[in-house]
Amino acid sequence: MQALPWVCSSGECTHLLHLQVHLQHLFLQHLSLQRLFLQQCHQQQLCQCQWEHLYLSSGNTFTSNTTPGSTCPDLDVSIAFTGGSNLKGQFGKYSLGYQAMLEILRDWTQTLSLTGEDHTVGISSIVRGGVLRMAFVQFARTDSYWICSNSGQGCDARVSGCNQPIPSNTCTNGRLSGKLDELIADFDWHKDNYMSSVTYLASALEDVVYIFKESPPHRQKLLIIMTSSALNPAEPQMSTEIPATRAKLDALNVVSFGIVIREGASHTQTDIDAESMLTPFTDGFANVPLDGLMELLQGFCDASTSLGLFIRGMHTSSAPAGSPPTLVPPTLVPPTLVPPTVPPTTAVPVPVGTPLPSTPGSTCPD
């Protein structure tokens, strides 16, 4: 593993270069220390740092060699997933399709780079650097959706409320969270609380509007709709409710991606119908077997995959209210974190212009 590349503005940076060597082994063990040390260098204004320690440059793209999703734009993601009854029992090779879907989502979420902010932060989120926040909502029943609520009231558009079990651990309250413990609590709750009903999406989409109203302008916004069966064609869901809600999401610059989960490798009329109904309301699409869902999600922000290419093409800056999102390559933003307290160290004099060992391009200008 090579040392961090640095570009320095003067010889005053040499003591930080020495400190970098001293702390390099810590950076290999703790990514957060690396980010914090970078921010300290910025705030002291002694040198201009280039942070590429965990990234491999390839043309105009970067891919992480450690954490899937760590090359994403600053992104808030809401996943509206089905609680449809066709997942209740055997689904493909899985004896319990609904639980299998949630376990795949749980395992994938644990690989992501998250902000660390809990669900109360909302629109005040300030963490940058290609890190994510997530929110989850279950849909199925007509005129209802379910979220994990710490008060036990997590459906019916947050107006009339409903009596649901209170989670064992603090969950997201149906809001955006970058705290893994809260997201895991969501999965635990949804696993124990399964709608098992028709596939009615409209109410859940209204809740997604509420979710993204708490997403600040600097964070891009992605809605993933995940279903295993066709949407219930009952009026007025298809003709008026979903199109109207989609217009609200467009006004918030939300980009949507649809995923149809099918039972096996071969297509059936069920997943074909699901795809034909969901496609008109989404900007991108995938139809995969349930045992291929993890492979699809692992391509998150990897431009060599269909989902990754779609996400890396998201752009939501300065679009007029009501304008559909424009898809252009995103700009990676360096992290902005609070500087740490670094233990004092004795700087070893290094002649100005001397490169660090094994660090190509680290020579400082005079």
**Mind listing the pLDDT tens digit for each residue in 224-271?**
999 999 988 765 677 788 899 999 999 999 999 999 999 999 999 999
Can you tell me the distance from the alpha carbon of 22 to that of 347, in angstroms, rounded to the nearest whole number? 10
Query: Facing residues of 315 across strands?
Result: 326
pLDDT band at 159 (very low <50, low <70, confident <90, very high): very low
pLDDT in tens, 10-20: 444 444 544 55
pLDDT in tens, 126-144: 998 889 999 999 998 777 8
Return the C-alpha torsion angle 85, 191, 78, 74, nearest 10.
-150
For residue 113, with 0-12 CB atoms within 10 Å meaning exposed, 13-18 middle and 19 or more buried, which class applies? Answer: buried
* Range scoring the smallest mean pLDDT among 18-22, 108-112, 218-222, 253-257: 18-22
For residue 339, with 0-12 CB atoms within 10 Å meaning exposed, 13-18 middle and 19 or more buried, which class applies? Answer: middle
* Range scoring the smallest mean pLDDT among 102-116, 202-216, 330-344: 330-344
pLDDT in tens, 57-105: 323 232 333 344 446 889 999 999 999 999 998 998 999 999 999 999 9
Total residue count of the chain as it appears in this document: 366
φ, ψ at 196 (rounded to 5°):
50, 65
pLDDT in tens, 143-153: 788 999 888 77
Highest mean pLDDT among 4-8, 221-225, 301-305, 319-323: 221-225
**What pTM does this model have?**
0.67
Query: Facing residues of 281 across strands?
Result: none
Determine the Cα angle at 255 with ends 251 and 257, to 5°.
145
